[in-house]
Chains A and B, each alone.
Chain A
Amino acid sequence: DAGITQSPRYKITETGRQVTLMCHQTWSHSYMFWYRQDLGHGLRLIYYSAAADITDKGEVPDGYVVSRSKTENFPLTLESATRSQTSVYFCASSAGADTQYFGPGTRLTVL
């Protein structure tokens, strides 16, 4: 199906483990983004990418790693998960400098 998908939708992991969240879009959008959403903080940008092999930090990048070898994929890796990374993670994509389209989210719990 066309659009933007995220996997897994739900994930429970333990402190210290590595976790990778996947994001895939079928629009060939240049821009892709990762956000986390927490009560009291709204949506906060973790990392974004303007094109394949170009990534940049957002507001809260510490503890996260991204890569973008293909235009359509933008995985987010938590190298050593901490409880403070328990959150809902949203991936988004955009064709330009404005409108972003969001995926359904991944609900991550770190025990």
Chain B
Amino acid sequence: QKEVEQDPGPLSVPEGAIVSLNCTYSNSAFQYFMWYRQYSRKGPELLMYTYSSGNKEDGRFTAQVDKSSKYISLFIRDSQPSDSATYLCAMTDNQGGKLIFGQGTELSVKP
């Protein structure tokens, strides 16, 4: 079993839809949780960063962490075609630098 599980999709939604992306993990030591967005043939770019449990909102994006269930989510409101990308969750514990990534979910937002 992988430390971080993420449904690879692909996920296709109409413009304006609410998108929910999720990851589960097995290591209870993870404290830092991130979502990266990767456009085709580009490097991943940091989208959201959350420490420990709770919610964080940034514009149309909301990240949620539920440590009791070992489950994290990324919600995208009013999705746009420009949101079409692969979304990767990533997480780490307190010890130096190493992120564990999910497999990535490919999202397509249709006009």
Binding-face segment, B11-19, B37-45, B57-65, B70-78:
B37-45
B107 to A: closest C-beta gap in Å: 15
Map CB proximity to B onto A87-106 as digits: 1 under 8 Å, 0 otherwise.
Answer: 00010001011111111110
Q: Specify which chain B residues have a CB less than 8 angstroms from the CB of A99 in the assembled complex.
A: 34, 46, 49
State whether the Cβ of A74 lies closer than 8 Å to any Cβ in chain B.
no
Q: Specify which chain B residues have a CB less than 8 angstroms from the CB of A48 in the assembled complex.
A: 97-98
Tell me, in angstroms, the Cα distance from A50 to B88 when the chains sit together.
Answer: 23
State whether the Cβ of B94 lies closer than 8 Å to any Cβ in chain A.
yes
A36 to B: closest C-beta gap in Å: 12
State whether the Cβ of A65 lies closer than 8 Å to any Cβ in chain B.
no
Q: Specify which chain A residues have a CB less than 8 angstroms from the CB of B43 in the assembled complex.
A: 90, 102-105
| B34 pairs with A102, CB closer than 8 A | no
Q: Specify which chain B residues have a CB less than 8 angstroms from the CB of A100 in the assembled complex.
A: 46, 90, 97, 99
A49 to B: closest C-beta gap in Å: 9
Known: A98-B32, A105-B43. A42 touches B101 (CB 8 A): yes
| B88 pairs with A97, CB closer than 8 A | no
Q: Specify which chain B residues have a CB less than 8 angstroms from the CB of A90 in the assembled complex.
A: 43-44
Inter-chain CB contacts under 8 Å: number: 58
| A33 pairs with B97, CB closer than 8 A | yes
| B102 pairs with A42, CB closer than 8 A | yes
Q: Specify which chain B residues have a CB less than 8 angstroms from the CB of A43 in the assembled complex.
A: 44, 88, 101, 104
| B42 pairs with A104, CB closer than 8 A | yes
Closest 5 CB pairs of A and B: A102-B43, A42-B103, A43-B101, A98-B32, A31-B97
Apart from A40-B8, A100-B99: 12 A-B pairs, beta carbons within 8 A: A31-B96, A33-B98, A41-B103, A42-B102, A42-B103, A48-B98, A97-B95, A97-B97, A98-B49, A99-B34, A99-B46, A105-B42
> Which of A's residues lie within 8 Å of B, judged by CB?
31, 33, 40-43, 45, 48, 50, 58, 90, 94, 96-105
Pick 12 A–B contacts, CB within 8 A, sort by A: A31-B97, A33-B99, A40-B8, A42-B102, A43-B101, A45-B98, A48-B97, A97-B97, A99-B34, A100-B90, A102-B43, A103-B43
